[in-house]
Amino acid sequence: MRVIGFDPGLRLTGWGVVAWDGLHLRHVANGVLTSDDKLELPARLVQLRRGLLDVLEEHKPDEAAVEASLVNKNPTSSLKLGVARGVVLMTPAEAGLPVAEYLPMIVKKAVVGTGHADKTQVGHMVARLLPGCPIASQDAADALAVAICHCHHSATQRRWAEADGVGADGAAVGNAGAGA
């Protein structure tokens, strides 16, 4: 399974793609999309969407995961981030990918082991989990962390579903309920 993670932002949107076979993670690619802050908001959103489409086309992920945004002190910044985040959520969904969202605390806990880790700790753990991975920036490291978090969470959800006798597609599997 190939997962793309996103750390959304209007100025900088980090992205990272990992391959997951159920046991091993492998780095595929990462980077940052930028928008021209001299342009009006609608034009910047178009830049973001086009960049997202290019990354999705190039790396062909199976699933996407996006870091949820918390409200900032500055309402204008929060609103702009929310609009950019909407584009980041919509674009992979429009391409037919399932899209999951994770709170920053959940991402940090999945990657570092504590929900209160700082960005440096997240970057170090991403580098340890993906040895030899050239990380483009802190935004890209955060996006890779989101992808790693999704791999861990989706694997757990699949195991729970299989234990309940339900496959990933919702269909009954195995001998669920046998002898009941």
**Which amino acids are annotated catalytic?**
7, 67, 139
DSSP annotation of 144: H
Q: Return d(Cα 157, Cα 6) in angstroms, integer.
A: 21
Q: Return d(Cα 164, Cα 158) in angstroms, integer.
A: 10
What are residue 12's DSSP bridge partners?
34
Using DSSP's 3-state secondary structure scheme, residue 89 falls into: helix
Chain-centroid distance of CA 38 in Å reads 28
**Which ranges of 34-164 would DSSP assign to H, the alpha helix?**
41-59, 75-94, 104-111, 119-129, 138-163
Q: In angstroms, what CA-CA distances link 26 with 18, 90, 99, 110?
A: 6, 26, 20, 16
What is the CB neighbour count within 10 angstroms for residue 87?
A: 19
Q: Return d(Cα 103, Cα 170) in angstroms, integer.
A: 25
